[in-house]
Amino acid sequence: MKLRRQSRFHQISIHDRSGIRTLKFGDVVQTTMKIDDPSGGALEYIDFFHMPMILRDGIRSVLFVGLGGGSGPTQFLDDYPGIQIDVVEIDEEIVRLAADLFDCRESSRCRIHVGDGLDYLEQADQVWDLIIIDAYMIEHGDLVVPDELTTEEFFRLCQSRLSEDGVLVFNSAATVDAPLTREVRDSLSAVFRSILGFEVVSSDNAVLLASDAPLEHRTTRLAQKAREGLARGSVVRRSLLRRCRQLHRGLSEGK
């Protein structure tokens, strides 16, 4: 299968090859999925969205800002039966394609809202245990995170929409040493008491976690928590053991 669409926001292409379905914005890969297993075959950085499940007990509500092909919501719905999910996505065409071709659609446990993520958070009257920022745009052929989603002001808004020991996850479309990632880390540090940063090996991404409650900064203890979660069934992806070793000291700090 090959498909091309032009939405208000993106030049979209989707193709199938060797059992993998791939979604691109322009020339940049956004989502990969095993055609016969919609919760499998995702890009590496999606694994780090599960790190809060190692670090926190009792996560019951999750907000995704940005949908793409829906790898994150699909995995969370499969892995954590007790979780309720909200997704906000600015591009209505992406919402349609995610439902039709990536098996990610609204259900009793997953509400999908079409709109701007910043506006949605400003108008929200609820809190979540976990907020995941995974929103991109293409500008002049390059993948960028919208500027308004990287500011201290935005992260204070996110803080106000998190539960007491809630966690914010931010997927930076840049390497650990890039100015964007450092800028986001500094903005998060001005708002939250504890920051963890992880290096994505297979792509130019870094993933940061932030919380007002302490986050575990020791790699060995993170791995132990992952093993404990796997043993009791609260975590199901064994790849998280490997991801714990990708903790980046230069991005992580606690107050």
Catalytic residue, candidates 47, 119, 134, 212 = 134
186 is catalytic: no
The full 3-state SS of the chain, as one line of letters, equals CEEEEECCCCEEEEEEECCEEEEEECCEEEEEEECCECCCCCCHHHHHHHHHHHHCCCCCEEEEECCCCCHHHHHHHHHCCCCEEEEEECCHHHHHHHHHHCCCCCECCEEEEECCHHHHHHHCCCCEEEEEECCCEEECCEEECCHHHCCHHHHHHHHHCEEEEEEEEEEECCCCCCHHHHHHHHHHHHHCCEEEEEECCCCCCEEEEEECCCCCCCHHHHHHHHHHHHHHCCCCCCHHHHHHCCECHHHCEEC
Residues assigned a catalytic role? 134
